[in-house]
C-alpha cells in the first residue's frame, strides 16, 4: 500500500522550523477518494509509521480535495506561526491590490528586522516584486511595505487578514502582524494553516510565486536577483 500510495499521489510538503516550535504540515493532492474511504485504516497506519520519527509538536496530513484529516498530532492546538504568516499576507495582497502598481518604501518598512529583501527608505518597487521578495526571501521589510499599502498600517492590515480568516472559517487563527514576528495574540493551528495553504495554492498567482526558484526583480529600476529559500523546490 505504501509503495502504491507514494506512486499515485502528489505530495505538497511544507516543513517549517520555528524557534521553540517545530511543526510539519503535509498536504496530499489528487488522492483516490474511493481508495481512501475503503482503506483509510491502512493508509493512515502507513502514513503514521512514516511520520513516527518526526520530532514535531504538531502536524497534520490532509486530502487537499476533501480537506479530510488523514492523520495529525495536536493539529488543533494553537501555535505561533512565524513566517508562515506570509501565506495570508500574500493572499490578501493578491486578492485586493493592483500588482503592477509601484509604491515607495517607508522608513518603518525599511527598518524592519529579521529576514529581509534589503529595502531602503525611499526605494520604489512594484507590489508584484514585493510579493516575490516576501515569499522567496521571507522579507519582513516587504511584508510591512505591503501591509502599509493595503491596510494603511500594520494594524489596519491585520484587520484585513483577520477578516479573510473569518471568511475561511479559521476560528482558531488570529493575526497581528504581516510577517509573523512574535506577538502574543498571533497564532494558528496546524490544521487551519493547512486549510489556508490549500486555499492559497488554488490561486494561480500565489502558486506561481511560491514555485519560483530564482527570479530578477527591480528596485528603483535596477535589477536584483533573488532565490527561493525553499529547498524542497530543488
Q: How many residues does the chain have?
A: 234
Does the annotation count 58 as an active-site position? no
Does the annotation count 138 as an active-site position? yes
Sign of the Cα torsion 107, 16, 188, 25 reads: positive
**Whole-number Å distance between alpha carbons of 133 and 127:** 10
C-alpha cell at 2: 505504501
**Per-residue 3-state assignment (H helix, E strand, C coil) for 55-123:** CCCEEEEEECCCCEEEEEECCCCCECCHHHHHHHHHHHHHHHCCCCCEEECCHHHHCCCCCCCCCCCCC
Nearest to 170 by CA among 189, 185, 142: 189
Backbone angles phi, psi at 33, to 5 degrees: -60, -40
**Whole-number Å distance between alpha carbons of 4 and 11:** 13
- 90 close to 128: Cβ distance less than 8 angstroms: no
Q: Which one of 56, 58, 106, 138 is the catalytic residue? A: 138
Does the annotation count 83 as an active-site position? yes
Sign of the Cα torsion 119, 104, 137, 179 reads: positive
Q: Which one of 23, 56, 58, 83 is the catalytic residue? A: 83
Q: Which one of 58, 80, 86, 197 is the catalytic residue? A: 86
- Which residues are part of the catalytic machinery? 83, 86, 138
Amino acid at each position: 500500500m505504501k509503495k502504491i500510495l507514494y506512486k499515485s499521489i502528489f505530495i505538497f510538503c511544507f516543513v517549517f522550523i520555528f524557534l521553540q516550535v517545530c511543526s510539519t504540515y503535509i498536504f496530499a493532492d489528487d488522492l483516490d477518494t474511493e481508495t481512501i474511504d475503503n482503506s483509510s485504516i491502512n493508509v493512515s497506519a502507513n502514513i503514521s509509521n512514516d511520520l513516527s520519527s518526526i520530532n514535531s509538536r504538531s502536524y497534520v496530513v490532509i486530502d487537499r480535495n476533501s480537506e479530510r484529516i488523514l492523520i495529525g498530532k495536536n493539529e488543533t492546538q494553537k501555535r505561533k506561526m512565524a513566517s508562515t504568516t506570509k501565506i495570508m499576507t500574500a493572499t490578501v495582497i493578491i486578492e485586493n491590490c493592483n500588482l503592477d502598481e509601484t509604491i515607495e518604501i517607508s522608513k518603518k518598512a525599511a527598518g524592519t528586522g529579521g529576514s529581509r529583501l534589503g529595502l531602503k527608505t525611499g526605494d520604489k518597487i512594484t507590489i508584484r516584486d514585493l510579493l516575490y521578495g516576501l515569499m522567496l526571501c521571507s522579507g519582513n521589510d516587504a511584508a510591512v511595505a505591503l501591509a502599509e499599502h493595503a491596510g494603511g498600517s500594520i494594524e489596519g492590515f491585520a484587520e484585513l487578514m483577520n477578516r479573510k480568516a473569518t471568511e475561511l472559517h479559521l476560528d482558531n487563527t488570529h493575526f497581528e502582524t504581516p510577517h509573523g514576528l512574535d506577538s502574543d495574540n498571533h497564532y494558528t493551528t496546524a490544521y487551519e494553516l493547512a486549510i489556508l495553504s490549500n486555499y492559497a495554492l488554488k490561486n494561480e498567482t500565489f502558486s506561481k510565486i511560491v514555485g519560483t526558484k530564482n527570479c530578477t526583480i527591480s528596485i528603483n529600476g535596477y535589477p536584483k536577483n533573488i532565490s527561493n529559500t525553499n529547498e524542497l523546490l530543488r
